[in-house]
Structure 1
Amino acid sequence: MEMPQKAIGYVRLSELRTDDLNEDGDGKGNVDQIQRIKQRAKDLGWAIVHMIVENDLSPGRGKNRPASAFKRRRIRLPDGRVEMRTVRPGFRQALDLLATRKADGFMALDLDRTVRDPRDLEDMIDVVEQHKVLVDSVTGSLRLGNDADITMARVMVAVANKESRDKARRVAAARERQAVAGEYGGGRRPFGFDEDGLTVRPDEAKVIEDCTVRFVQGASMRSLAADLRERAVPTVTGTRWTAQTLRDILMRPRNAGRMVYQGEEIGDAPWDPIVPLDTFRALQLILADPDRRVGPGAAPRWLGSNLYCCGICTDEAFTNRVGVQVRIGGRQPAYRCTAHNHLVRAVKHVDALVEATILGRLAREDAVDLLPSADPDVDVKGLRTEAAAIRAGLNELAADKALGLIDRAQLIAGTQRGKARLARIEAVLQEATVDSPLASLIGADDVAAVWEGLPLSHRRLVVDALVTVRILPTTRKGRGFDPATIDLRWREQDHPAESA
């Protein structure tokens, strides 16, 4: 058989760390394997055309791409079958190149660097036998040229596989002991904590607490992430804040002082909670709701986007609510109806009127009356249990409809009742578990200064909590802003608000 002239060189490390990189940014172990593979190929008369590095730093992201042995998923094999295999895209790429004859040989450091799962080995044996390709290694441990080589490879892989499983079992047991004992399991520093994973960082803890409370109050993840970007709050890795990044951080039970093992809470942590447990449970309840509305696009950049309403499309009772959004054009940003191009009003004038009215009310001595009164008799745990039961019931309704046990009208009626009750439960839980967004403003020495220091997402919560705003069509001729075209009403008292 002729020596391969378009062979594959296959390089893999079990784990590549940043401190393992050389001056050129390449893994030192990877570089050593490449050199040894090239030298072995040269000695045998092979030509390496494809050099596949399985474990490396992702280009432009600086994140490890591990080739762990037991991260499995469904993949398509070279013969077209779909099977469960290890997540090792480089190895699968090599088999595809061999199967399509784009490569005619395979060279690795040794058997252990190539496969540890018997299924992976059998996939390689299938390709070798079907397409008559050569397989070799620097150490001589990987050869599939005859039955004796294949049998020895199978035995060695089976032994290595058992060692890997034994190690994984010991590591899992150690992780469980650490979790039960309230110890940190290692890894990247969690946002909000020092490198030891136990000591709370006050500045980052404040971010977690503020974002959790504001989300439960009604702010969106996108708007909260935008606030953090605007304030240049750093993440642990230095990447930019996104809604998903923030969601992952806020959903950690460790924020509420709870230890976790394999996704389940198993006890209290040794550090003080950053977020009260009731508040954390409220956040979980909201995020677990499959019917939660997640708006597309960027976070709102303006105070009244989709809070203010078009006064032509929206009636006084808000039975048909049509919001407004800002469009940049002309001399200044303006609020426009989202449904029709029949209403335009300058952002600066509307916002100034709304802010002046709200701040004037918050500066009064009786501003404390705006705070919702907490009900000490609220059964928080019972309401959460009821909410979970309602969601389960809604799923059962859908199943009953699919089985023909109920008709469409019954499905709609039951769903409407369930969702209405869920909305009432969430409103009660919000008031019972978090402070009002007005709390930092009421009683302040300088309400305007506090308002200016609030992020946009918090200001929008205040507006939404206090007033409804309809932008009415103007009847006055000529230029200039007419305050009478802004129908601004207090939510609790159904009468027009007096501007400051």
Structure 2
Amino acid sequence: MDVVIYARQSLDRTGEGAAVERQIADCRALAERRGWTVRDVLVDNDMSASSGRVRPAYQRLLAMMKAGEIGAVVVWHVDRLTRRLVDLEDVIGLCETSGVRLATVTGDLDLGTDTGRMLARILASVARGEVERKGTRQRRANRQRAEQGKAQWTRRPFGYDRADGRVTVVEREAEALREAAQHVLAGRAVAQLVKRWNAEGLPTSTGAKWTTTSALIHRS
């Protein structure tokens, strides 16, 4: 039987896709144990399943299911497929009409039965609840840090730093930003500013050389 592996990771901080690779490896092992042929591997890396944003690989998966091109979808867990009940209902509908099976590393869900559909909906609801609780905790933590005057960024913005969790001004960078504002207001080219900063040995907050693009981001 031809199957498709679908893998997804909401946030890839390193850009290496390690979590996705682990999912794929486990899914391949499951397909091999069952004697299935992996026709394709579809990946939505660094992409949330709860935001409602279009996921290209997920849309491709639905199209393959609808066309009857595959016999099963293999995922690590149902929450890799979706955390939204409205999306789950689409998957359930396609499984019912096309006969496609849903196999997960953590335990299969037979969407052709009422029990399987009920379990899938429960799992999706739990996954959605986890997202909402995480969001609530994060907002509360951000509010507390703001009340305490603590920085909330993960990457230092140019012109600022933090000491003991509190925001401090980097005077050299702050002065450069003030000069940049006057430079732009005077109608001068940003490229000139970039050239001068690099010549003066003034790096970005990450230690890199300035480019016109990075300077324009700070201007906005």
TM-score range, shorter chain: 0.7 to 0.9
Structure 1 letter corresponding to 2:100: V
**2:170 equivalent in structure 1:** 201
Give the letter aligned to residue 175 of structure 2: K
Residue 67 in structure 1 maps to residue 57 in structure 2: no
Q: Partner residue of 1:210?
A: 179
Is 1:160 matched with 2:127?
yes
- Aligned pairs for 1:55-454 (under 5 A) are 55=45, 66-71=46-51, 85-140=52-107, 142-194=109-161, 198-219=167-188, 223-229=189-195, 231-232=197-198, 234-236=203-205, 238=208, 241-242=211-212, 245-251=214-220
1:44 paired with 2:34, answer: yes
Task: From the superposition, tell whether residues 68 and 226 of structure 1 become closer, same or farther in structure 2 (CA, over 3 Å).
Answer: farther
After superposition, the Cα gap between the structure-2 partners of 1:240 and 1:130, relative to the gap in structure 1 and judged at 3 Å, is farther
More helix, by proportion: 2
* Greater Cα shift, 140-149 or 126-135: 140-149
Q: Greater relative contact order: 1 or 2 (C-alpha under 8 angstroms, separation 6 or more)?
A: 2
Structure 1 pair 9/143, CA: closer, same or farther in 2 (3 Å)? Answer: same
- TM-score, L = length of structure 1: 0.39
Deviation at 1:225, TM superposition (A): 3.8
Structure 1 gap ranges (5+) = 56-65, 72-84, 252-500
Deviation of the 1:226 alpha carbon: 4.5
Distance in 2 (CA, whole Å) between partners of 1:103 and 1:197 is 54
TM-score, structure 2 normalization:
0.83
8 Å CA contact 2:49, 2:81 repeated in 1: no
Q: Which SS does the other structure have where 1:54 is aligned? A: strand
Q: State the AA in 2 paired with 1:13.
A: Q
Secondary structure (helix, strand or coil) at the match of 2:129 reads helix
Q: 1:132 to 1:184 in 2, by over 3 A?
A: same
The residue identity in structure 1 corresponding to 2:170 is R
1:53 aligns with 2:43: yes
Unaligned runs of 5+ residues in structure 2 are none
Contact 2:9 2:48 in 1 (8 A): no
Say whether 1:16 aligns with 2:6.
no
The alpha-carbon distance between structure 1 residues 16 and 48, as it changes in their structure 2 partners (threshold 3 A), is same
CA distance in 2, matches of 1:229, 1:242: 9
- Superposed CA deviations along residues 330-372 of structure 1, whole A, max 9, x for unmatched, are xxxxxxxxxxxxxxxxxxxxxxxxxxxxxxxxxxxxxxxxxxx
- Report whether the alignment pairs 1:33 with 2:3: no
CA distance in 2, matches of 1:167, 1:148: 29
Task: Identify if the C-alpha distance between structure 1 residues 181 and 158 changes in structure 2 by more than 3 Å, giving closer, same or farther.
Answer: same
Question: How many residues in Structure 1 have an aligned counterpart in Structure 2?
Answer: 214
% same residue: 29
> Could you say which residue in structure 2 is the equivalent of 1:416?
none
**1:166 partner letter:** R
Larger gyration radius, structure 1 or structure 2: 1
Q: Distance in 2 between matches of 1:239 and 1:107?
A: 44
> Matches of 2:56 and 2:62 in 1, distance apart?
10
C-alpha contact 1:68 1:87 (8 A) present in aligned 2: no
